[in-house]
Amino acid sequence: MSHKPFSIAIDGPAGAGKSTIAKALAKELNAMYLDTGAMYRAFGLYMLRKGLSKDAAAVAASVNDVDITVEYIDGVQHIFLSGEDVSAAIREPEVSMAASDVSAVPEVRVRMVALQQKIAEGHDVIMDGRDIGTKVLPNATLKIFLTASAEERARRRCLELQEKGMPEPYEKVLKEMLERDWQDTHRAASPLVAAEDAVRVDTSDLTLDQSVAEMKRLALKAIGG
């Protein structure tokens, strides 16, 4: 029996666990997962390689030159930049800041939102990012604003970098986290804000399993399952 596709929008600051939780939730609900932040990171990587990530005018002028595609290989999302799989490269710390820089450019957001909406059409989809509930999926079945304290988010990011063999000092990660928060919440184009009808979930004191369980409970209630 066919059903009306559902959509779940998950917004929140960097390091709140959006991607990890959204991926786990997508698996639980048999839905497609789209990591929109990875798309901005790919755009940031492109501009970083050109040495122009902080030049808003150059970024705006290049908005149609960047070829970003999303593919699912064995159920895992891969991001391609001009045909190159950059799924690992976009996780470098300097690319995070470049992503924040380019995502402040209105022309970039317009292009990305259109691309994200096109990918989501007709699917059960879970998307996470900064403006999913407010811009990309304004009519989402469920909107969640996922957050955690800056200190907890920095601690998690440190662990993640350590596991990837790219350790960074906690103080540096926390400083960058706070800078990213400020940049994301103060930009003119689609600043990070919770949608008015979003459910706020704070994961500071929750384990990953507890966070996923709470999100699944909210999702099933919204979908009617």
Average the pLDDT over 7-28 and give the result: 92
19 — pLDDT class (breaks 50, 70, 90)? confident
Taking residue 44's Cβ as centre, other Cβ atoms within 10 Å add up to 24
* pLDDT on residue 1: 42
pLDDT surpassing 90 at residue 63: yes
For the chain, which residues make up each domain, given as ranges? 7-220
Model confidence, pTM: 0.80
Taken in order 89, 94, 98, 101, the sign of the CA dihedral is positive
**Would you tell me which CATH number, out of the four given (3.40.50.150, 3.90.1150.10, 1.20.140.70, 3.40.50.300), belongs to the domain 7-220?**
3.40.50.300
pLDDT tens track for 159-208: 989 998 989 999 999 999 999 899 888 887 778 888 999 999 999 999 99
* pLDDT on residue 225: 59
pLDDT surpassing 80 at residue 92: yes
* Ramachandran bin of 29, using left for φ above 0, alpha for ψ from -120 to 50, beta for the remaining angles: alpha
pLDDT tens track for 196-215: 999 999 999 999 999 999 99
What is the distance between the alpha carbons of residues 193 and 106, in angstroms, rounded to a whole number? 16
* pLDDT on residue 104: 87
